[in-house]
Structure 1
């Protein structure tokens, strides 16, 4: 049987275009938007786009993407502007964004149609806001993705849109129109020899907006709008006349080519009912090849599948594997979100041949060969066991791979202890990646400086981490070195990329990182061991892992049941506030301010009560004051009700006195650092608000904010504030997500955290309700309840708990690392 190559280029034959070539030679015009290019643009607009809008032919699709992305991002995007795109696309998509001066922001894909995940896109658009200059969706494998949705996105988020439709020239949308018809933004197609619309090289940009095409035409000609003076960013992206001849010839036969290929694809789909295939979108697509997913257990044997099919004369490919987020260039230069769906699809993809010469019978032959190879390999391949299933005993299981869990790893790197600590380590994380946790979902600034975030990687002993200072995520954080904190939407990406590299280092040194897993409980197993029950979220399968130590780094939350038992000024809070009550966490997350604005939209001069004296309370007030569009707050529109005095942090006694602040004594000064209110004092944005409200240094208080210190259960004024408020926001702190733990006989071990007390003691050991440390259990992170002591510093007067990324990544994290490694050394001795 004749071979079936994956791709068999069939561009028009130049040898058959002699008369047309002589016409070009006679004209003396070989480039510069000559008559052949203009004729092709007019013909393709009429034939494939119903005569609407306009088209621009360019030298290749990558150049087309470059100028279209640059134009959609405003022509002169600011450094750090992001281009949002899916992971499952060709490298040219991200390369074009980089050459246009933007940073790729790579998101996951939809599990059915394999295009950009709508939920991921909208989450990132909300999180990053105006930093995203352009969205670059990919019409995956010629699919007719929903362009009306992207027109809505452009309006809703005020973001540019450029559609990478490299393989879609000739695809018909759900209304039977050429894909891209009517879209108000640029849609960029390829005419490379390997595409269905095969020319030697070239690209095409279509838009319903003729002005957009006119700008792009000028940009493709060095930015010349009139004469030879550049008034736009430009490059030479013009299509030569000879290639335009070939494009015109291809246009005359494209309908027949598309019909034959559609029949081949249909035959494949009928012959491969048990395989994962992409959900088709639109009435017809310009099939370049047939992408198929291997069964999960055979994905690691993809090369063997390809080799077996090659023996049968059937060519294969792996588009797109690795996907964008797995390629070194973009790992070093892009922002990459967790991509579990793209990871799974990319690992299992096999592309089967679709060529102009093939028939449906050829497709059935290739499909039959694939089925036979898969059946043969399946008989000799055991099914994938539960992820992480092992009879080995882990040294330590860290439950939670967010900022606190990965802080342990960061702390270890700072003393070059990670190689030893990672041996026998298992990190368990619910999300698809470690590092970020929920931190990047908050629409507020941090109470840590940019320098604090960067100390985790700057001059790190591991080059992979040290390089992040110059990575886009590091540069984005560094831009706030002189600001009052870092927006957490900027800090989150740095933590995620750091977490990814820490995970790679952990695996390289003998550890495991189990993403997509959650820990259900831990049970004492005897002999100083713990049995931790894990559940894989993808299929619910549960496994047990044995470990000598367990670190609980699951973060904190604001439990609803806490509100039902909370009293303010002697009256239950729910009784005072009713259905006007929100928790601060709901307000501080991305979209929270919009929720508040919507709830208060009918109020001309709304009154808001914020309860609490913590950083989250002050940060909530700050967010309400600076939100946009501004709330119509009158004088005293926000009342902060607090029990303890509000104290600002100062780096020294002298600094406090210099600003006229004297409200502190010897017990309020840290003996190690000399800081005033080192632990109890507010910092950065919250500190600035406190200084204003206290009138320190002659600052004028914000008239929109009133302070009310609750005096006790008989504080009638506090009760009145709550009853009259249009909205009540409870900022009452966080409690830990404490892991359920059981004794060897199955009886629950009651923990101090369950009684509302600190989860850990001064050595980060989890304590029971009797305040005795539970052997082998440690805790770290938000709401764990750790209080610095001894060499860690802190003022004697401090009451409460200290939470801070710098502490976790340094002294607190090392406290746990040292105990685990010391335990190992003692066992070896």
Structure 2
């Protein structure tokens, strides 16, 4: 179909000439890291754009997750979802905590609140849900459970940049929310992330922890880590932020075209967003059902043979990976919905520079099962 490979995602890049003046300023003032002027400016502008009070920038979202758990002084067990990227569970393990998997809701693909309460033990201190594919978790139900049992809620919001929930920022829910600014995300700083805090005191603790736990020149109060974002990353974020609304609108057009073209393809189920939130169109997952002429893996290979890269995201489940499958909560019988979903899902290419011609090729490849 095409001699050029269509990637599953591709970062939005502004004109290089727009970024160069920022680099020149960094060279002039020789401030490369440690809360420089671009770092401070990006925190302020992101807080305004996202509709939150306190943003702490990080060099990546994994370090941000690890630090968030430390900041909340979590110990013992953390209830989480197996349907996510491995960084979610890795951050729990890096803190010497035990992840406890519970199943997902088959309509939202998010952690199922109805399964959380049964997984709580005297050792449980926190819940770490994931807003999967930018679809909000059932935040009210999760918060009610957390309040009843005195648990912290730390949201992995890596997919949820710019998402609102019932008219307000989704990032305000829980004790903390963590964003990813990796190159694959709708908003990127090459590599990067952020922690959203509810108050200045919590932000102060997080900012201390991401700088080795240093309070001042003579005082270190906690075993922190080096999680600081550099000035170059922050500067790139400032350029990205100027274009984010245009990039999101382009993604929305692609999302709409996929939905119109694939809605009637037998055996393909489209993922639906909750009707009281917006999407940032970060992913376009489809489910390959039993009545589609090809298996999920055969469709994946078919797309690949036509130079179209899709992703079985998330497959395999975290709970089925060698380092986690020995956990008592990782058994397949305990996670039937997550296992079933992981065997059906494919994320199709979506990014702001995807052309109409490329989009048509992808749709044709899925719709025409006789096409090799």
Q: Same fold (TM over 0.5)?
A: yes
Contact kept, 8 Å, 2:152 with 2:174, in 1: the verdict is no
Contact kept, 8 Å, 1:57 with 1:239, in 2: the verdict is yes
Q: Secondary structure at the match of 2:170?
A: coil
Q: Which structure's CA Rg is the greater one?
A: 1
The counterpart of 1:173, out of the listed 161, 165, 170, is: 165
Give the distance between the partners of 1:297 and 1:328, measured in 2 at CA: 32
For normalisation by structure 1, the TM-score amounts to 0.42
Structure 2 vs 1, CA of residues 262 and 192 (structure 1 numbering), >3 Å: closer, same or farther?
same
Range with greater deviation from structure 2 (327-336 or 104-113): 327-336
Aligned to 1:347: 343
Contact kept, 8 Å, 1:12 with 1:199, in 2: the verdict is no
Contact kept, 8 Å, 2:12 with 2:247, in 1: the verdict is no
1:248 aligns with 2:243: no
Residue by residue, what CA displacement relative to the aligned partner does 1:320-349 show, whole Å, maximum 9, x if unpaired?
A: 100111111112457425111111100111
Contact kept, 8 Å, 2:133 with 2:159, in 1: the verdict is yes
Give the distance between the partners of 1:121 and 1:170, measured in 2 at CA: 27
1:18 aligns with 2:14: no
Residue by residue, what CA displacement relative to the aligned partner does 1:118-147 show, whole Å, maximum 9, x if unpaired?
A: 11112213xx1x311211100101212233
1:116 aligns with 2:118: no
Q: How many residues align?
A: 364
Q: Secondary structure at the match of 1:329?
A: coil
Range with greater deviation from structure 2 (141-150 or 85-94): 141-150
Structure 2 vs 1, CA of residues 208 and 152 (structure 1 numbering), >3 Å: closer, same or farther?
same
Structure 2 vs 1, CA of residues 13 and 363 (structure 1 numbering), >3 Å: closer, same or farther?
same
Aligned to 1:219: 209
1:53 aligns with 2:53: yes
Give the distance between the partners of 2:293 and 2:262, measured in 1 at CA: 17
Q: How far has the Cα of 1:249 moved from its partner?
A: 0.8
Residue correspondence of structure 1 range 446-525 to structure 2 within 5 A: none
1:187 aligns with 2:181: no
Aligned to 1:144: 136
1:88 aligns with 2:83: yes
Contact kept, 8 Å, 2:57 with 2:229, in 1: the verdict is yes
Residue by residue, what CA displacement relative to the aligned partner does 1:392-444 show, whole Å, maximum 9, x if unpaired?
A: xxxxxxxxxxxxxxxxxxxxxxxxxxxxxxxxxxxxxxxxxxxxxxxxxxxxx
Give the distance between the partners of 1:214 and 1:333, measured in 2 at CA: 35
Give the distance between the partners of 1:146 and 1:14, measured in 2 at CA: 41
Contact kept, 8 Å, 2:113 with 2:138, in 1: the verdict is no
Q: Secondary structure at the match of 1:33?
A: coil
Q: How far has the Cα of 1:220 moved from its partner?
A: 0.5
Q: Secondary structure at the match of 1:316?
A: coil
Give the distance between the partners of 2:154 and 2:9, measured in 1 at CA: 27
Aligned to 1:292: 286
Contact kept, 8 Å, 2:58 with 2:227, in 1: the verdict is yes
Q: Secondary structure at the match of 1:263?
A: helix
Structure 2 vs 1, CA of residues 167 and 228 (structure 1 numbering), >3 Å: closer, same or farther?
farther
Aligned to 1:398: none
Give the distance between the partners of 1:288 and 1:123, measured in 2 at CA: 32
Q: Secondary structure at the match of 1:66?
A: helix
The counterpart of 2:312, out of the listed 310, 318, 325, is: 318
Contact kept, 8 Å, 1:172 with 1:284, in 2: the verdict is yes
Residue by residue, what CA displacement relative to the aligned partner does 1:350-388 show, whole Å, maximum 9, x if unpaired?
A: 110001112567545423321223x779xxxxxxxxxxx
Contact kept, 8 Å, 2:85 with 2:318, in 1: the verdict is yes
1:66 aligns with 2:66: yes
Q: How far has the Cα of 1:53 moved from its partner?
A: 1.7
For normalisation by structure 2, the TM-score amounts to 0.90
User: Relative contact order (alpha carbons < 8 A, sep ≥ 6): 1 or 2 greater?
Assistant: 2
Aligned to 2:10: 8
Q: How far has the Cα of 1:29 moved from its partner?
A: 1.6
The counterpart of 1:303, out of the listed 278, 297, 301, is: 297
Give the distance between the partners of 1:246 and 1:122, measured in 2 at CA: 42
Residue by residue, what CA displacement relative to the aligned partner does 1:24-74 show, whole Å, maximum 9, x if unpaired?
A: 12222211111111110000101121xx420011000000000112222x2
Residue by residue, what CA displacement relative to the aligned partner does 1:524-583 show, whole Å, maximum 9, x if unpaired?
A: xxxxxxxxxxxxxxxxxxxxxxxxxxxxxxxxxxxxxxxxxxxxxxxxxxxxxxxxxxxx
Residue by residue, what CA displacement relative to the aligned partner does 1:612-656 show, whole Å, maximum 9, x if unpaired?
A: xxxxxxxxxxxxxxxxxxxxxxxxxxxxxxxxxxxxxxxxxxxxx
Residue correspondence of structure 1 range 383-782 to structure 2 within 5 A: none
Residue correspondence of structure 1 range 198-237 to structure 2 within 5 A: 198-237=188-227
Q: Secondary structure at the match of 2:34?
A: coil
Give the distance between the partners of 2:99 and 2:312, measured in 1 at CA: 22
Give the distance between the partners of 1:156 and 1:14, measured in 2 at CA: 52
Aligned to 1:366: 362
Q: Secondary structure at the match of 1:116?
A: coil
Give the distance between the partners of 1:93 and 1:171, measured in 2 at CA: 19
Give the distance between the partners of 1:161 and 1:269, measured in 2 at CA: 34
